[in-house]
Chains A and B, each alone.
Chain A
Amino acid sequence: MILEVRSLKKSFRGKKVLRDVSFSAGSGSVVGILGENGSGKSTLLSILAGVLAADGGTCTLDGEDILGVRSAVRRSIGYAPQGTPLLEELTARDNLLLHYDRAEMEKELKDGVLATLGIDGFLKTTVSKLSGGMKKRLSVGCSVAGRPPVLLLDEPCAALDLSCKANILDFIDAHRKGGGIAVLTSHDQTEIAICDKWYIMKDGVLREYVYDGDIGKLVSEL
């Protein structure tokens, strides 16, 4: 399985946010998109998730164009935007039911991704009463309904404590080991460390970067 992005372009009111963005990712890989706030990382993921329309360029999965083809996007891509996009007044279970069939949810809670994320411990709790880490795990759990092969994760570990972070990183690792592709945007050192490929986004331009563990060097590149 190969995810291939070629010459992606996007402008907002004449301001170019993405300029000919290209990258590729193969099965069992985690791609890190790094960059400063406002550099265009989230816009890139939104386009890949089908939320935004690109002004130009292509994105293919195994040679099949997935931009603008909603059904294909829905089946193949799981998208977890920044923050925790959840129905705060309802329980964790209600939020999962928006994405999963009841039987599928029970199965995933027993020995699937929802169990890996540790969601079964707070199923009946109202989301507004959950901690930030619990909400994030729930949010990721919602986005992986149907086990899509491609995961787009926008800052999945932002503002989480160490145990929650470890929980989510374990999940990403399990996804990679299962042959999936994960594309994540990040500012977090531990997230960056689990990636196989790195790209730096600056002023809408994406370029490949080889991360050798030297965070000072990386910061100077951003």
Chain B
Amino acid sequence: MRTRGRKTAVYSLLTAKRYFRLIPFSLVITILLAAVLGVVLSNVFGEREGAEENRMVSIAVAGDVNDSYLKVALEAVKEYDMTRYSMSFPIMTEEEAKEQFKNSKITGYIVIPEGYMKAARAGTVGTINFVTTSGAQSLSSRYVAEMIRTISEMVVASQKATYGYEGFALDRGVTFEELKPAAQMGVVKFINALVNRDLLFSVNETGVSGASTDDSIVAGILTVFLFLWGITCCTVATRKDGRLFRSLSANGVGAARQTLAEYAAYLLFFLASVAVITALVAAAFSIFNFSLHGGIALTGKEALRFALCLPFPILVASSVQFFIYEATSGITGGVLAQFLTAMLLGLATGCLYPPYFFPKTVQKIGEFLPTGAVRRFIGESSSGKSPSATPIIVGVCCVVLFTALSIIIRRAKITGEREG
């Protein structure tokens, strides 16, 4: 006859065996879930990519752009500025610019007047004309107008310095050919230093505590996936036989031991399933070279990077799922409860919708919900940072709380009133 401890261990292994018999069913459901969430993810990124392309502001540069230093300055603005993804400065004639503006192909155009550079050389600020729609008082047109004013001043300032230095050097016998590369480099460095947006302002993305927006979206979707995953275990997890529990209890495997043994088996199956699905996803990404906008490459490495953050979130999610199955009865009730819990918790903690749309109180509460802790943990650890203490503490508390609740429910099932 087995001892109590061995009996508990064997019960855990046998329960795991019950779950592992579900692997084909579980994999199908997991792949379906992953596919649905993958489509959602790719649509989210697709929409953002499309939206960013649509938002790209195109300002044509026309007029007297033949001066070599001005060309260098414009190139510097185009190439070195952080806004290169959101703004373009095509050079064209004034007629071409008018035509494109009429056809709404460009937001506006600037005309550098004849002799502008000559005036700059003489140390005076000429006027650059910016043509745009009269009613364009949107944020982007104000931004463009402000930029042009700033660039104009910067270009003049840089030209003043460059031409001053040029005159000084030429007076001292340096040939123009010897001077030109150094002067051009000087302009580039000057402009680059002035227009580097990183030095002028910082961009706050809507990600979660340190994670980028992209990582945050992936973390949110992944969190919902983990909390929905419990559905794949429904056929075994909902089979609760009170007589078996009582029989086990009589044999020394009481409510706490039963619950912990079953939870361990559930957790093991969850980890194994996610490992399998990660391997499949990583292989698919490696073979098909998926990539999304803005440096998000869906590579096998990327999938593994996220997978390595998952054991702790899986521990938390499985405790919630296990509790739900313990508290409900029947497949329909269990699956429905899993689905609703995942969706509602996901919504409340910003996994499905940006959290800043909710009142501050909801956002604060969300941090202390299991999905909030999991989302934050994945977001932080997947971005290469050490996860902060809050999600870990909240996660551990959730595991303890939900496991304790499961034990209480199991005890009630064993000792509750019955026929006979």
Instruction: Tell me whether B249 and A50 are in contact (CB under 8 A).
Output: yes
Instruction: Tell me whether A37 and B1 are in contact (CB under 8 A).
Output: no
Q: C-beta contact mask, A67-111 vs B, less than 8 Å → 1, else 0?
A: 000110110010111111111111000100111110010000000
Instruction: Tell me whether B1 and A101 are in contact (CB under 8 A).
Output: yes
Cβ-based interface call for B301 (8 A): no
Q: Which of B21, B241, B250, B418 has the most CB of A within 10 A?
A: B250
| Given contact pairs A13-B417, A49-B250, A98 touches B7 in the complex (Cβ within 8 A) | yes
Cβ-based interface call for B172 (8 A): no
State A104–B14 Cα separation when bound (angstroms). 18
Interface stretch among A19-27, A139-147, A164-172, A192-200? A139-147
Instruction: Indicate which residue in A70, A81, A86 contacts B246 across the interface (CB closer than 8 Å).
Output: A81
| Given contact pairs A74-B4, A98-B7, A89 touches B414 in the complex (Cβ within 8 A) | no
Cβ-based interface call for B118 (8 A): no
Q: Chain A contacts of B243 at CB under 8 A?
A: 81-85
State A144–B40 Cα separation when bound (angstroms). 55
Cβ-based interface call for A53 (8 A): yes
Interface stretch among A39-47, A115-123, A175-183, A213-221? A39-47
Instruction: Indicate which residue in A42, A89, A97 contacts B10 across the interface (CB closer than 8 Å).
Output: A97
| Given contact pairs A86-B244, A98-B11, A98-B14, A37 touches B250 in the complex (Cβ within 8 A) | no
State A49–B39 Cα separation when bound (angstroms). 55
Cβ-based interface call for A56 (8 A): no
From residue B242, how far is it (CB to closest CB) to chain A in Å? 8
Instruction: Tell me whether B420 and A82 are in contact (CB under 8 A).
Output: yes
Q: C-beta contact mask, B341-373 vs A, less than 8 Å → 1, else 0?
A: 000000000000000000000000000000000
State the interface size on chain B (CB cutoff 8 A). 31
Q: C-beta contact mask, B247-260 vs A, less than 8 Å → 1, else 0?
A: 11111101000000
Which of chain B's residues has its CB closest to A104's CB? B1
Q: Chain A contacts of B17 at CB under 8 A?
A: 90, 94
Which of chain A's residues has its CB closest to B241's CB? A85
Cβ-based interface call for B236 (8 A): yes
Q: Chain B contacts of A39 at CB under 8 A?
A: 420
Q: C-beta contact mask, B1-24 vs A, less than 8 Å → 1, else 0?
A: 110100100110011011001000
| Given contact pairs A79-B247, A90-B17, A94-B14, A52 touches B420 in the complex (Cβ within 8 A) | no
| Given contact pairs A89-B236, A142-B247, A51 touches B252 in the complex (Cβ within 8 A) | no
Instruction: Tell me whether B250 and A73 are in contact (CB under 8 A).
Output: yes
Instruction: Tell me whether A143 and B420 are in contact (CB under 8 A).
Output: no
State A39–B420 Cα separation when bound (angstroms). 6
Cβ-based interface call for B419 (8 A): yes
State A154–B246 Cα separation when bound (angstroms). 12
Instruction: Tell me whether A89 and B18 are in contact (CB under 8 A).
Output: yes
State the interface size on chain A (CB cutoff 8 A). 47
Instruction: Tell me whether B1 and A87 are in contact (CB under 8 A).
Output: no
Cβ-based interface call for B415 (8 A): yes
Cβ-based interface call for A38 (8 A): yes
Q: Chain A contacts of B252 at CB under 8 A?
A: 70-71, 74
| Given contact pairs A12-B417, A43-B420, A89-B236, A51 touches B246 in the complex (Cβ within 8 A) | yes
Which B residues between 211 and 251 are near A, CB-CB below 8 angstroms? 236, 239, 241, 243-251
State A157–B254 Cα separation when bound (angstroms). 27
Q: Chain B contacts of A49 at CB under 8 A?
A: 246, 250
Instruction: Tell me whether A37 and B414 are in contact (CB under 8 A).
Output: no
State A212–B245 Cα separation when bound (angstroms). 38
Which of chain B's residues has its CB closest to A142's CB? B247
State A12–B241 Cα separation when bound (angstroms). 21
Instruction: Tell me whether A100 and B18 are in contact (CB under 8 A).
Output: no
| Given contact pairs A83-B243, A87-B18, A38 touches B1 in the complex (Cβ within 8 A) | no
Q: Chain B contacts of A99 at CB under 8 A?
A: 1-2, 7, 251
Which of chain B's residues has its CB closest to A12's CB? B417
Which of chain A's residues has its CB closest to B254's CB? A70
Cβ-based interface call for A185 (8 A): yes
Pull 11 A–B residue pairs with CB atoms less than 8 Å apart, ordered by A. A13-B417, A49-B246, A49-B250, A51-B250, A51-B415, A70-B254, A81-B243, A94-B17, A98-B2, A98-B11, A142-B247
Sample of 8 further A-B pairs with CB below 8 A, known A43-B418, A82-B420, A98-B10: A17-B417, A42-B419, A79-B247, A80-B247, A84-B243, A98-B7, A101-B2, A139-B247
* A residues at B contact (CB < 8 Å): 12-13, 17, 37-43, 46, 49-53, 70-71, 73-74, 77, 79-90, 94, 97-101, 104, 139, 142-143, 145-146, 154, 185
